[in-house]
Amino acid sequence: MNRPKKNAGSGFSLLLAVALIGLVMAAMIPAAMGATAVELGTADTFAVLAKTAITDSLSSSNITGDVGLSPGSGSAIVGFDVCIPSRVTGTIYKVDDAGTTCATNNPTLVGAAITDMADAYSNATLAPIDFPTASAEDIGGRTLIPGAYSWTGALTMSDDVILNGQGDANPVWIFKTAGYLTIADNKRILLINGAQPKNIFWVVADYTTLGSSSVFNGNILDATAINLNNNATLHGRALAQSAITLLGANTVDVPVARVAPIATFTFTNTTGTVPLIVSFTDTSSADSGGSISSWAWDFENDGTIDSTAQNPVNTYTIAGTPTVNLTVTDSFGAIATKLDTVTVNAAPIAPVADFTFSPASGPAPLGVTFIDNSTPAGQISWAWDFGDSDSTNATLQNPVHTYASGGTYTVSLTVTDGSAATNTTTVTNAVVTQDSVEITVVNVPVSLSLIPGQTTTNTDTRFYVNSTTTWQVTAYDAGTNGFMTDDISAAHLSEPFRVQQKSDNLYVNLSTTSLSAIQIQTGTAEVSGTAYPLGIQQEVTMTDLYLPGTDVYHIVVTLVVGIT
């Protein structure tokens, strides 16, 4: 079920009942039964035929077919005094001049019909039985296939009864009861799959009562009396061997071959996303002599009737392909069913924008690579806002963006998926770029004259710092053969070269390996008001005996400035 049922626990799927009960019955008994139609003879044209009395209590009933009374006097035909317009489409037959002037005196014709009615009752009681029942029974809610049924006690219907013709060309039912026959108020005999009122015979030893507003199908052959309560409808014949009473606004019509209704409907939004509102429009049709009288909609075909409106609206809140089941009933009690499906798609899951980037900081100009990690993967489009005025590569999935100047930038990514759902994520301080550290060195070049056998120190070199972030200074030898700038392959220093740190007259040793750097100065963001000293010191011992002892050699230190 795709939503809470408004009337859960009430209603009954006619299609489900037909399927389940029909299968059980088919498994129990053969499909072909031996019942044959009961011959009515000259009683065939009569909708209402009785021996002692016929009463239309409110003079408001409508009868399609003949009306006849015999041997009772014409004075016992009550409630048919208004001849024009007539509420009887056939002829009212009586045996004498008494009573209504709307009737025709024809004792021979009506007498023969009474005789044929009695013979039909007797013949029906002798019909072979396909489904014997030992005692009284309430058959309300059941589905019955063609055949002859019998009960030794009363036969009652507290709920609708379905007669399933199983597609036979001329299915016949005979229901015999030694007791009385009743159908409750507002209940119906429903016909499907070829069932016809003209082929249904109710053979009743005791009285018959049709409840108020009930719809009954078939020919009633009653050995005693027949009573139709207010607004009861009989699609068939009322043939009683005593009296017939119509209590008001009743309908009785001689059954003819009927065309079953055709259930059809159209609906809006055959496909959509939850919550999906669907409007259904009934386009069903009925036999030319009748009309569609009721609708039963099961929007998920789960056995519960959701609406009895002709053109309902339903809201689907769960994704799937629910089957819609419409069952229509026409004014003759025949039913038909139509199935169709609705496609309900799940609501799209909004994408979640996400990304990573590298590097997170660095000197300008800084190239930053952004990697899209949004879910679900494979978005249709990407829109980057890099936080500056440059939109180059802003629609790529994984762009590289270059920041030309230092600063703190807020980056946002908006992704759009195939259903046009969007999501944006913003990362504050996603990219931080620093201005280049500015180092000003005084007394350049930073060099030292080396004299063999002496320790030489130079503390005159200074540098100034102008940086927006933390900084560092590293130093390494610019030469390829130790710290001697002269290309003398056999010469080397016997002691490490030392460079002064920022303060405290401390020195650190540089590696004698060419281009091996060492950090010698660090600091925080600042604009230095005074110069930092960059002293260099070397104790020189010349081990190459071929070098002149008085030569002067130079050490060159290369400074590398960056951020920490």
Q: What one-character-per-residue DSSP string does 198-213 give? A: GGEEEEESS-EEEPTT
Distance from C-alpha of 217 to C-alpha of 246, rounded to nearest angstrom: 16
What residue type is assigned to position 51 of the chain?
Answer: K
Phi, psi of 42 (to 5 degrees): -75, -10
pTM value surpassing 0.85? no
CATH number of 438-563: 2.60.40
In this prediction, residue 144 carries a pLDDT of 96
Distance from C-alpha of 295 to C-alpha of 416, rounded to nearest angstrom: 45
In this prediction, residue 260 carries a pLDDT of 85
In this prediction, residue 77 carries a pLDDT of 96
Domain ranges of the chain: 18-253, 259-345, 355-434, 438-563
In this prediction, residue 133 carries a pLDDT of 83
Neighbours of 562 (CB within 10 A): 17
Fold equal for 259-345 and 355-434: yes
DSSP-derived secondary structure letter, 75? G
CATH T-level assignment (fold) for domain 259-345: Immunoglobulin-like (2.60.40)
List per-residue pLDDT tens for the chain, 564 residues long: 344 333 333 333 433 343 333 433 333 333 345 589 999 999 999 999 999 999 999 999 999 999 999 999 999 999 998 887 789 999 999 999 999 999 999 999 999 999 999 999 999 999 999 998 879 999 999 999 999 999 999 999 999 999 999 988 889 999 999 999 999 999 999 999 999 999 999 999 999 999 999 999 999 999 999 999 999 999 999 999 999 999 999 999 999 888 889 999 999 989 988 999 999 999 999 988 789 999 999 999 999 999 999 999 999 999 999 999 999 998 888 889 999 999 999 877 778 888 888 887 766 778 889 998 888 766 678 889 988 888 888 999 999 998 887 777 888 888 887 766 676 666 654 554 444 455 565 545 455 666 666 666 766 666 666 666 677 666 655 443 334 333 333 344 444 555 555 445 555 555 545 445 566 667 777 766 666 666 666 555 554 444 444 444 445 555 555 555
In this prediction, residue 65 carries a pLDDT of 96
Nearest CA among 475, 458, 459 for reference residue 511: 475
What residue type is assigned to position 307 of the chain?
Answer: S
In this prediction, residue 15 carries a pLDDT of 38
What residue type is assigned to position 330 of the chain?
Answer: D
In this prediction, residue 505 carries a pLDDT of 54
User: Domain 355-434 is of which CATH architecture?
Assistant: Sandwich (2.60)
